[in-house]
Structure 1
Amino acid sequence: MSQKIDEILEKIIDEKTEQDIVEAEEATEHILEEMDAGYNYRKNLPFYWRWFVFAAAVLLSLFQLYTAIYGTLPSNQQRGFHVAIAMGLIFLLYPGTKKNQIKVTLGSWFYSGLLMLITIFLFVIGEIRLLTMIGALLILLMLQLSKYYNRDYLGIPFSDLVLSFFGFATGLYQFFAYEGIIARVGMYSDIDYLVAATGVLVVLGATKRVIGTPIVAVAAIMLAYAYLGPYIPFSVFEHRGFSIERIISHSFLSTEGIFGIPVSISATFIFLYLMFGVILRKTGLEEYFTDLAVAMTGWMTGGTAKVGILTSVFSGMITGSSVANTVGNGAFTIPMMKRSGYKPEFAAAVEAASSTGGQITPPIMGSAAFLMIEFTGLPYNEIIKAAIIPALLFFTAQFFVIHYESKRLNIMGLPREELPKVSHLLITKGYLLIPIIMIFVILALGLSAMRAALWGIFTAVIMNLLVMVVAFILGKYNKLKYRINIKVIFEILEESTRTALPIIAAVATAGIISGVITLTGLGLKIAGAILTLANHKLLLTMFFAMIASIILGMGLPTTANYVIMATMTAPALLEFGTVPVIAAHMFVFYFGIIADITPPVALASYAGAGIAKSDPFKTGIESVRIAIGGFLVPYLFVLSPELLLIATDSSIISLLLAIATAFIGMYGIGTAVIGFIEKKLTFIERILLLAAGLGLVYANWTFDLFGLLVVGTIFIYQKFSTRETVTLSQ
């Protein structure tokens, strides 16, 4: 961060001693480890394991770059190598439990013991082969021992070394034996089934370590559902059932399970954009975004909260975790907001809502944008174009809520003369934005998203090298804070892989879930149930799809979240011929993401509450209040698809009117939620503003006229009545 920005922030936040800073960093790290499994990694590996992890991580990054430049390998090889390195590294880097020592009891063995007994029973009744049973029992035993027996052998517990070996081996089996696997479809060998069984268990075990239990529980339920189909008590969800060998082969040996579309996108698009995000951090763009946010909004009413929104959006749109963004940015923004006068719950909620909103912001959209390419069949540039106005509406509503809450509390911004000028930042450091601009240029030229990512990566590196050359010529080389050299390049390669591990695990497990849905036809069954419940009415179908998406999305990372929504709830909306494909997928994606701030399982809100030391549930409620626009925007673009900037019969004038009325509608809803414009709103005024706002977001001339009349009347009344009060008091 620039020196001037540092000086400004010192006026907002109390000066801290070095000990205070250390304690704050430790507290942030603790919250991350508690709320985000991906941060609970081993931090003190012996040097030989550090070098091994480093070499494997660099190898995967180089593999991804090589195949992106010279062409991807056959699907089984590309995806197999991608998953193999990730699974092997996860067991080396992430322990089986967060605690160093856990008392071993009979209860601690219950679930593992039950799974082992079920495995033996399946062998006895002839459902699985002897080799498959032995492999499954070994993996289950190692997973259990890794949680309760942490004695190190050469720096890592023996059980984790065994699991890491199977992680590498099962993925590389796809890489080296893919031709034989394809040739033996329907006639798999004992070794094939052994690899499939151990591979599925290894992926689930690895995912639990870096993502958490919820998605693993969903995958386990799906696998059980595939087998127990004939015994389901609800006839609408019944199916003929499949053998264990069919389920595990479909999940691991085919390209419709673990190595299906989600991993395919991860092994091509997602990894490159994650690397692009790492390079942006290493070249100073993330810090530049913070400086730009302070310059743009620090002077406004409620400036500190608005700075928090922008910084969270900037970082959130290039990463895939609402929780990590909330904690990472919240360590800086939440204390700043509290010091300005906001309640802890409100400060934490602003950060949680903003970081969650970052996941729906183009161009990355928490990596879900690339999955949408396959699930919708639309090109990448059409997807990011469709996401622009909904994201603007989401954050506009949030800005209105924060603005009038700040006005109500009389929380002002900093004097404008004390802040750096936006124009100065753009002139002196605007070159940092060139890599992002380059991506849009490449996409506009009609090239692929993968090619755009490569150009973005190369542009970022070249720009930094040019800056270094210019700084050297001007004699200011030593003053450069961000310099790319050989050491930094290897750091980028390693960090890219480490950043990708949770996403690779998530999409691999999401592949199991989507594979079962495809195998059993569950997606169509759920769509049918939603339509029946809604009596085939669009508004009711959207409501029930919203509820299903929020419930299914609780505790899931962005990528896995979208895969599940796309296969389970989107088909219900697509039954209506008037709903475009992108509108249906964006609808369920939005509500799946909003689950991160929706109680009772509001992980991003709870993470923010940990930093703010606020009540978690109240923070969740406050997050919903601040992000109220996020609950309305999806309805808006389904009913008015022109807001997604897709080809419709609407004219340009109709499109502009729809956009304008939508933004005014967000103003009405935001002020109704806060209950303040120039002075406190009466109950009747709030009800009228809420009704007017809802009317404006629905594309209908009658509702629009009513909404404009109500919002305009109340706004003018508030302005003039306040002036009269001031005049009389003088």
Structure 2
Amino acid sequence: MAQQEQLNQEELLAKYDREHAYRTKLGFLGWLVLIVGIALTLFHLFTAFRGVYPSQIQGPIHLGTGLLLIYILYPAKKEWAKKPGVPWYDVVLGFTALATNYYIVFNYERIVSKAIILGYTDFDVIVASVGIILLLEATRRAVGLPIVIIASAAIAYGLWGKGIPVFGHAGFEWSNLSTEMFFKTNAIFGIPIQISSQYIYLFLFFGVMLVKTDIGKFFNDLAFALTGRFTGGTAKAAVAASALQGMVTGSSVANTVGSGSFTIPMMKRAKFRPEFAAAAEASASTGGQIMPPIMGAAAFIMAEYTGVPYSEIIIIAIIPAVLYFSGVFMGTHFEAKKHGILGVPKDELPKMSMLIKRFDLLIPLITIVGLLLSGRTATYAALWGIGAAYIVSLFRKDTRLSVKETINALAEGARTALPVISACATAGIVVGIVVLTGLGGKIAGGIVQLANGQFFLILFLTMIACIILGMGLPTTANYVVTASMAAPAILGAFPDIPIIAVHMFVFYFGIVADITPPVCLAAYAGAGIAGANPMKSGVNAFKLAIAAFIIPYVFVSNPVLLLQNDANIMNVTPALVTALLGMAAISASMMGYFNKKTNMFERIILFAAGILLVYPEITVSVVGIVILVVIYAYQRFIKKDSGTMPAV
């Protein structure tokens, strides 16, 4: 039974998440993947301990080794993943990709010094050209076609910008453009791949350790013990559990399938509609990437782009995350009340007394948070967090890893990181072209001009751009692109807005693309488990996560919610309270239930009250409070109860 469940999870992941459509029947090459994967993880652990190498050594080792594994693991067509063995040409392509990157390592002194003065050789141009082509193909296999199309369009723009009437430029020769992108540190080996090789890989491996040692299961049990007994307890527990697990998995779809295989059937048994069960899991799993203290991989790149230390970003992100998950919690509560769905019987829930005895399993997470808040680097914190997870796991039989399991965990760390490695490198191409051609400034100016300088219209156009990109790009690559091209539009037009608020804005909307119809892969994956209509699941996920579409406007308009602009308890508290009330009103409107079932007019009024409550002006928020109180009083004392709706 467990084996069949595992197979179903893998099929869903391969169907809805390109990153998981990899070969499992490798034959004798399985040993090569195992050895190379272990070596890559040990390399990152070693450099985290002794200090990283220069970016043009660390980056090529990180990327080149990753590309070798991608070509062996990921077939040219997703459907071929089930075929046994690896074609000879994929092995050749993998080792060629490895060689082009290690060429930089072996020629490091010449490339970083002499070549800048004397120029690059013809052979350098050939190596760079082959390296770029193999990177794009590997990214297509491991991540998908959209990001490759964007990167290819960026390259074409760099080459033929002179012939483009809008946003044109002088253009570059291929010999100059290819070497600029491949050998220097402002494109492929720019900030995204540097952060991937220094921080992201380690935190992804930390997530693998939590899963492999079953420490992650403790999060599930804790969530059910805390929330399961309340109205709609299965859905609320699913939200809490997915938030805790999602902050270390880094993938909306993977978290939806991993947690959802357990939580979605439970929600269905509790009489939640199948499409709602899928939506609750998908919206919570997607939100896991904005949940401190780990957050998604893009948060590490954000720290580099904004100059705000990661230890501060995890504090800044707390209130937005609270608002997001409060909105999802309230949505599940109103849905449960509407259908009369009660909590889980106490005797069916994990015993809190037993969980308290296992609180030492939180030590790895506490270690990371404590070190980050003490001012230690993310690399240092991740290294000690990994060590703490391994040591803590040794004290119990059910969490202890055998030697074989430890070896497999090291290899799994590499496999988990492959899509992120290729996505960061390919996104670096886009960033490099933006910098070389000045495209970022031109697009920013175009957005400002199109919006005629109107604040909310600029935000709206930026949001649309982020969501559209997010439908085809993984979160990390989406953030890199939008931070380079869309964020400058807001900052250029409104320089008084804190830079972290703008970057959080584009970060949020890149993430929610996974639950925004019509392309909402996390909801589709949840629907696969629930046996629900995918589009209905997507619409329900959008309604549940409506907070994510409103909160970014709130914290850009009122940065005190990000603890900016002289934030203190006197101005943060009323802003937070009114925002939470606003989330309650908007969730009630979306779900069609407040104190009683609501009609269309009441839903419109509730939504309007919610917008007024989250608006960053206390006088406006007071009007929202009055409307909310009136609606509640009307439903509580005047309106007749039409009864709960039957669950479908």
Give the TM-score of the pair, scaled to structure 2.
Answer: 0.95
1:213 is matched with: 145
Could you tell me which amino acid in structure 1 is paired with residue 482 of structure 2?
M
Contiguous gaps of at least 5 residues in structure 2: 644-648
Preserved CA contact (<8 Å) 1:60 1:85: yes
**DSSP-derived class of the 1:606 partner:** helix
Preserved CA contact (<8 Å) 1:555 1:603: no
Q: Deviations over 1:470-527 (max 9, x none)?
A: xxxxxxxxxx212134333222211111111111011011111111111111111111
Matching of residues 157-556 of structure 1 within 5 Å: 157-182=87-112, 183-185=114-116, 187-233=119-165, 235=166, 237-425=167-355, 427-465=356-394, 467-468=395-396, 480-556=397-473
Q: Aligned partners of 1:489, 1:330: CA distance in 2, in Å?
A: 26
Q: More deviation in 544-553 or 609-618?
A: 609-618
Q: Aligned partners of 1:725, 1:618: CA distance in 2, in Å?
A: 25
Q: Aligned partners of 1:589, 1:283: CA distance in 2, in Å?
A: 31
1:26 is matched with: 7
- Check if 1:612 corresponds to 2:538: no
**DSSP-derived class of the 2:358 partner:** helix
Matching of residues 47-126 of structure 1 within 5 Å: 47=28, 49-100=29-80
1:46 is matched with: 27
Q: Deviations over 1:543-566 (max 9, x none)?
A: 111111111221211211110111
Q: Report deviation, 1:650.
A: 4.4
- Check if 1:590 corresponds to 2:508: yes
Q: Aligned partners of 1:524, 1:601: CA distance in 2, in Å?
A: 29
Q: Report deviation, 1:613.
A: 2.6
Preserved CA contact (<8 Å) 2:235 2:267: yes
Q: More deviation in 77-86 or 480-489?
A: 480-489
Could you tell me which amino acid in structure 2 is paired with residue 193 of structure 1?
V
Could you tell me which amino acid in structure 2 is paired with residue 184 of structure 1?
A
Q: Which of 519, 532, 542 is 1:624 aligned to? A: 542
Q: Aligned partners of 2:186, 2:642: CA distance in 1, in Å?
A: 68
Q: Aligned partners of 1:725, 1:50: CA distance in 2, in Å?
A: 62
Q: Report deviation, 1:335.
A: 2.1
Could you tell me which amino acid in structure 1 is paired with residue 599 of structure 2?
T
The percent identity for this pair of structures is 49
Q: Deviations over 1:552-595 (max 9, x none)?
A: 22121121111011101111111212210000000011111111
Q: Report deviation, 1:725.
A: 9.9
Preserved CA contact (<8 Å) 1:322 1:359: yes
Could you tell me which amino acid in structure 1 is paired with residue 366 of structure 2?
I
Preserved CA contact (<8 Å) 1:363 1:369: no
Preserved CA contact (<8 Å) 2:233 2:343: yes
- Check if 1:680 corresponds to 2:597: yes
Q: Which of 551, 563, 568 is 2:480 aligned to? A: 563
Structure 1 residues 71, 635: closer, same or farther in 2, change over 3 A? same
Structure 1 residues 192, 724: closer, same or farther in 2, change over 3 A? closer
Q: Deviations over 1:359-395 (max 9, x none)?
A: 1112222211111111101111111111111011011
Could you tell me which amino acid in structure 2 is paired with residue 165 of structure 1?
F
Q: Aligned partners of 2:115, 2:546: CA distance in 1, in Å?
A: 53
Q: Aligned partners of 1:457, 1:26: CA distance in 2, in Å?
A: 28
2:646 is matched with: none
Q: Which of 476, 493, 499 is 1:581 aligned to? A: 499
Contiguous gaps of at least 5 residues in structure 1: 1-17, 103-149, 469-479
Could you tell me which amino acid in structure 2 is paired with residue 77 of structure 1?
I
Q: Report deviation, 1:24.
A: 4.2
Could you tell me which amino acid in structure 2 is paired with residue 463 of structure 1?
V
Q: Aligned partners of 1:418, 1:55: CA distance in 2, in Å?
A: 44
Q: Report deviation, 1:321.
A: 1.5
Q: Aligned partners of 1:275, 1:622: CA distance in 2, in Å?
A: 33
Q: More deviation in 483-492 or 360-369?
A: 483-492
Structure 1 residues 340, 65: closer, same or farther in 2, change over 3 A? same
Could you tell me which amino acid in structure 2 is paired with residue 531 of structure 1?
V
Structure 1 residues 53, 420: closer, same or farther in 2, change over 3 A? closer
1:603 is matched with: 521
Could you tell me which amino acid in structure 2 is paired with residue 504 of structure 1?
I
Preserved CA contact (<8 Å) 2:501 2:556: yes
Preserved CA contact (<8 Å) 2:231 2:342: yes
1:717 is matched with: 634
Could you tell me which amino acid in structure 1 is paired with residue 361 of structure 2?
L
Preserved CA contact (<8 Å) 1:319 1:364: no
Q: Deviations over 1:280-323 (max 9, x none)?
A: 12222211011111111111111111122122212211122111
Preserved CA contact (<8 Å) 1:326 1:352: yes
Q: Deviations over 1:660-690 (max 9, x none)?
A: 1111111111111122123112333322221
RMSD: 1.9
Q: Which of 561, 567, 578 is 1:643 aligned to? A: 561
Structure 1 residues 650, 38: closer, same or farther in 2, change over 3 A? closer
Q: Report deviation, 1:92.
A: 1.1
Whichever of the two has the greater Rg, that structure is 1
Q: Deviations over 1:214-239 (max 9, x none)?
A: 11111111111111212224x2x211
Could you tell me which amino acid in structure 1 is paired with residue 305 of structure 2?
F
Q: Aligned partners of 1:338, 1:483: CA distance in 2, in Å?
A: 33
Preserved CA contact (<8 Å) 2:208 2:412: yes
Structure 1 residues 493, 725: closer, same or farther in 2, change over 3 A? closer
Q: Report deviation, 1:721.
A: 4.3
Preserved CA contact (<8 Å) 1:320 1:557: no
Q: Report deviation, 1:723.
A: 9.5
Q: Report deviation, 1:641.
A: 0.4
Q: Report deviation, 1:423.
A: 4.9
Q: Aligned partners of 2:352, 2:628: CA distance in 1, in Å?
A: 32
Q: Aligned partners of 1:617, 1:725: CA distance in 2, in Å?
A: 29
Q: Report deviation, 1:37.
A: 1.8
1:5 is matched with: none
Q: Aligned partners of 1:560, 1:725: CA distance in 2, in Å?
A: 49
Q: Aligned partners of 2:353, 2:505: CA distance in 1, in Å?
A: 37
2:18 is matched with: 37
Give the TM-score of the pair, scaled to structure 1.
Answer: 0.85
**DSSP-derived class of the 2:399 partner:** coil
Could you tell me which amino acid in structure 1 is paired with residue 623 of structure 2?
F
1:668 is matched with: 585
Q: Report deviation, 1:66.
A: 0.9
Q: Aligned partners of 1:650, 1:252: CA distance in 2, in Å?
A: 43
Q: Deviations over 1:20-53 (max 9, x none)?
A: x555443332221121122122211223x12211
